[in-house]
Structure 1
Amino acid sequence: MEGRVAPRVSIFFAQEGAQSIGVIAGALTIGYMMAVTFFPDRDVVLT
């Protein structure tokens, strides 16, 4: 039973993880661009 379910679950989590990583990366990029736009005199460092 577990042997049949595990591959589907891992594939599902892999797809969901990839989507969430893309969303997080996009949000970080937008936030970085906004920070550079609103605070051009400040050194914006991504930690």
Structure 2
Amino acid sequence: MRASPPPGPVRVRPAAFTSAGVVLVGAGLLLANGWPLVLGGFVLLLAAVTSPQ
């Protein structure tokens, strides 16, 4: 484990995408007209799966 972060643009970890996607899907399912949130959550989950590790 290095103390300093590597140089270059900061990448968001896939785990952050996954948790945000789950939150969006859950909130969209709770709302009556929350299908855009569900769609956005699935997009985040897909981004987390396809992002390079």
> Is TM > 0.5 for Structure 1 vs Structure 2?
no
State the structure with more CA Rg. 1
Which one scores higher on RCO, CA 8 angstroms, separation ≥ 6? Answer: 2
TM-score when normalising by structure 2? 0.39
Bigger helix fraction: 1
